[in-house]
Structure 1
C-alpha cells in the first residue's frame, strides 16, 4: 500500500507564517537588548522639582501622629 500523497507546502519550514513569527520574535529580542544597552550608557540623574516633599501628591516620608504635616 503506497503512502498517502502529501501537500508540497505541508512541511514546517515551508510555512511563511512561521518564519514571520520567528522574525518578529528575534526583532523584539534585539530591541530589548538594544534598550538595555542604551539605558546602561546614560546616567539616571534625579530631577530638580519644586515639590520635593511629595511624589505625585503623596508624602515622601512618614509623618508621626503627634507632628503636624507641613
Structure 2
C-alpha cells in the first residue's frame, strides 16, 4: 500500500508537503476527537451537533489520508 522507495525519490518540496499533509491529518483527527470527548467545551453547541462535527472532521481526515498516500507523480 505504501511504497517507501517513492518517498525517498521525492524532491525536498514534495517531502515537505507530504509531512505537512501528515501534520494536518493529525490535527483534524485530534480536533475531531476533542470535539467528541470534551464535555466542557468553551462554546455553546448541542452535544448531537458536536459529535456529528467531530465525526465529520475525522471522516475528512481519512479522505485526506487516502488522497495523500495515493498521489501520483506528474
Structure (1/2) with the larger helix percentage: 2
- TM-score norm. by structure 1 comes to 0.42
Q: Greater Rg, structure 1 or structure 2? A: 1
- TM-score norm. by structure 2 comes to 0.40
